[in-house]
Amino acid sequence: MPEASAPEMKKTLGVTGLTSNAMALIAPGAFLWLTFYIQATEGAGAASTAPAMWLGILVSMLLCLSTAVCYAELAKLYPGTGSSYYFAEQAFLSRDKGFKYARISKFIVGWSSHLYYWIYPGVMVATMGIFCGYIIGTLYPSFMSASNPGPVFMGLIAIFFSFACAYVAYRGVNASTNLNLGINIIQITGLVIFSVMALHYRAVHPEGSAGLQFDATTGASYTYQFKTDATGATVRDANQVPQPLLNSGGQPVPFVTSYVDRDATGNFLAHPSKGSVVGVHHISWVFIQATVAILILVGFESVTSMGGEAKNATRDIPIAVIASLLIQGSCYLFEYFAANYYLNSGYTLQNANGSAAPIGDMMVVVGDQLFGIGHGRTFMLVEAFTVFLAIFGTTLACINTAARVTYAMGKDDEAAEHFGLLHSENLTPHKAVWTLATISAVVGCLGVALVFGGAAAPTDAVIAALPHGILSSFGYFSNAKMASMPNSLLAVTLTSNFGTFILYGFSCMLCMVAYHKHPKFSFIRHFAIPLFGILANLACMIFYLVGYAMGYGAKLEPRIALAVAAIWGIYGGIYFMSSSKKKGKAVILTEHPGMGNQGA
């Protein structure tokens, strides 16, 4: 165990700093930019669940809101540095008979939370790799495809970015908090501007009107219909610019906007109305989308791991938990509505399926419409800078939160002892930070390795047209082979999300335990809402098995997520029992160790 004289964390964070750190983890810029792609590829052809994308986000937000209430209520009783891990111990210690389960319950919660906290940062560094690949491909199309960047290039970016963020986290939370505050303001402003422009595009382009058509090869939009050859392929000049279809007078045929929902083969294209965007379509699709959408909303609980750095933890942390979720969740609902409502024949959901960054493509089109042809790319690059900041802030918040949960377990002697040490000068859990950086780099590389596998597999013609080189095309196989492989980014995302559902379900249960027979017990806040949270989290976990077995969504990816979760759980059980025996610790307590903050 660390010595009693070991340095302690400084209490420097107020409600604004706490809220900023949580909001950075839910960054709407980072996730709107790339999670839209993951959600768009959930299921193939007529079985695509993407039409229910917006409602899936709303369901996830309700699930998160119920969990956020539980975290806020727990933080009022038990302000500390371990989040759910700390709550689990204190909730059971507050019980006259249930105290005996305090140690095993906190280990289960702490261990399962690492399935989320240790993989989530890896998802974000993979996201940065894809993002950088898209930007480099846009600026240098002869070197890299923007729509299908090279896995090796993306992996190298993931490694570098992982350790760069870890260095900032290692330097201390004050720097992180100031960065997060500025990043939150910039990213929200940038994405709201795009959303308004997307809605404006739809408003001024009714059915049958002249519009713009996006071309993925050149990364630009055009006012004319494309000429095709006998095979249906677009005819291009030497610079790969699509050639116009000419009318009888030799003039380019204007591109006509349409909002037809499906093509002849049943593929979803666009939403014909506002009601379609927010509609159910199929209840199973909603739950499938929710299992992915949870990724864009998690993070509100991160501030409960910063109790050791909060000036007034009991008052400010509950406010920050709820405020961060409501602010960012509202932004997401607005932005996702705008992006989905924008879809049209010039940029359909099928175009989004084949792009590394659908939102970036949309920005090019709406920018061309508002600022003039050719200026949309500039607008996209400006917005991309805000997205870069958002991804950076999110990853930084991920590492800060995960490292502090690991630190709490190390300090409590439930994980390796060195995880419980703080740096003598920076006062940060440096051992946990650098360990997490390594894990994130590995997960990030795995995430980008087959990011275009499964339903997102590019056609053989697209693969053949990729710029050749180890950084640009290595890792791309035939369409048939890639289609048979899992989408690695979706697989790691679902693995992280499964850990999230476990953690959130346990946290809702802990709220019920902590307030059972407590003087401040409220039926709504301490029973009804936690019960709803438990059932909602359980329902999403069940859909990992039931939904996909019924033919909804992807097939291989949820199985991989379940396998990883099972292996992690089995290893945790073995580690806990062997560690307990080695250290002479009782699995089930026989004597009460003392309660501190406790319920009645």
pLDDT tens digits along 441-466: 999 999 999 999 887 888 888 898 89
Q: Which residue has the tokens 């994130």?
A: 440
Residue 10 has pLDDT above 80, yes or no: no
In this prediction, residue 173 has a pLDDT band, given cuts at 50, 70 and 90, of: low
| Residue 44 predicted with pLDDT over 80 | no
Cβ of 506: how many Cβ atoms within 10 Å?
A: 21
If you ran DSSP here, which 8-state letter would residue 453 be given?
-
Cβ-based neighbour number of residue 421 at 10 Å: 18
DSSP state at residue 11? -
| Helix, strand, or coil (residue 282) | coil
pLDDT in tens, 348-403: 999 998 888 899 999 999 999 999 999 999 999 999 988 888 888 778 878 877 88
Q: Specify if 184 maps to a domain.
A: yes
pLDDT band, residue 186 (cuts 50/70/90): confident
pLDDT for the residue numbered 260 = 94
d(CA 25, CA 180): 9
pLDDT of residue 176: 59
The whole-number pLDDT of residue 2 equals: 45
Q: Are strands 213-215 and 220-222 parallel, antiparallel or unpaired?
A: antiparallel
Look at residue 549 and tell me if it is in a domain: yes
Q: What pLDDT band is residue 76 in, cutting at 50, 70 and 90? A: confident
- Look at residue 597 and tell me whether its pLDDT is greater than 70: no
> Buried b vs exposed e over 164-179: b needs ≥16 C-beta within 10 Å?
ebbebbbbbbeebbeb
pLDDT bracket for residue 4 (50, 70, 90): very low
Q: Answer yes or no: is 250 within a domain.
A: no
Mean pLDDT of all residues in 97-118: 87
Which residue intervals of 412-528 are DSSP H helices? 430-449, 460-464, 479-483, 488-515, 523
Compute the C-alpha angle 54/55/57, nearest 5°.
70
Residue range(s) defining the domain that contains residue 330: 25-212+255-583
CA distances from 154 to 42, 121, 359 (A): 22, 15, 18
**Res 474: pLDDT:** 93
Which pLDDT value is given to residue 9?
58
pLDDT at 589: 81
Over residues 508-534, the mean pLDDT reads 94
Model confidence at 257: pLDDT above 80: yes
* 7, two tokens: 């340095």
Percent of the chain with pLDDT over 90: 44
Residue 99's pLDDT is what?
85
In this structure, what DSSP letter does residue 228 have? B
For residues 514 and 69, is the Cβ–Cβ distance under 8 A?
no
Residue 599 lies in a domain: no
More confident site: 161 or 599: 161
- Lowest mean pLDDT of 25-39, 64-78, 331-345, name the range: 25-39
Amino acid present at 479: N
Number of structural domains the chain divides into: 1
Q: How confident is the model at residue 303 (pLDDT cuts 50, 70, 90)?
A: confident
Q: Is 307 left (phi over 0), alpha (psi -120 to 50) or beta?
A: alpha
Q: Is residue 149 part of a domain?
A: yes
* Averaged pLDDT of the chain: 86
Local confidence band at 554 (pLDDT 50, 70, 90 cut-offs) = low
**pLDDT (average), residues 32-61:** 85
222 assigned to some structural domain: no
Cβ atoms within 10 A of the Cβ of 467, count?
16
Q: What confidence category does residue 82 fall into, taking pLDDT thresholds of 50, 70 and 90?
A: low
Mean pLDDT to the nearest integer, 529-533: 95
Residue type, 230: A
Q: For position 75, what pLDDT does the model report?
A: 87
The answer to whether 33 and 131 have CB atoms below 8 angstroms apart is: yes
**pLDDT score of 598 more than 50:** no
The alpha-helical segments, DSSP class H, found in 516-596 are: 523, 529-549, 556-583
Calculate mean pLDDT across residues 181-186: 76
Residue 532 Ramachandran class (φ > 0 left, ψ -120 to 50 alpha, else beta): alpha
pLDDT for 276:
96
Residue with tokens 């009888």: 248
| Predicted pLDDT of residue 558 | 86
- Tell me, what's the pLDDT at 24? 67
- Percent of the chain at pLDDT exceeding 70: 91
User: What per-residue confidence (pLDDT) applies to 526?
Assistant: 95
Q: Is residue 211's pLDDT more than 90?
A: yes
**Does any domain span residue 592?**
no
Assign residue 540 the CATH number of its domain: 1.20.1740.10
Q: What is the pLDDT of residue 430?
A: 82
* pLDDT of the residue at 531: 96
Task: Report yes or no on 236 lying in a domain.
Answer: no
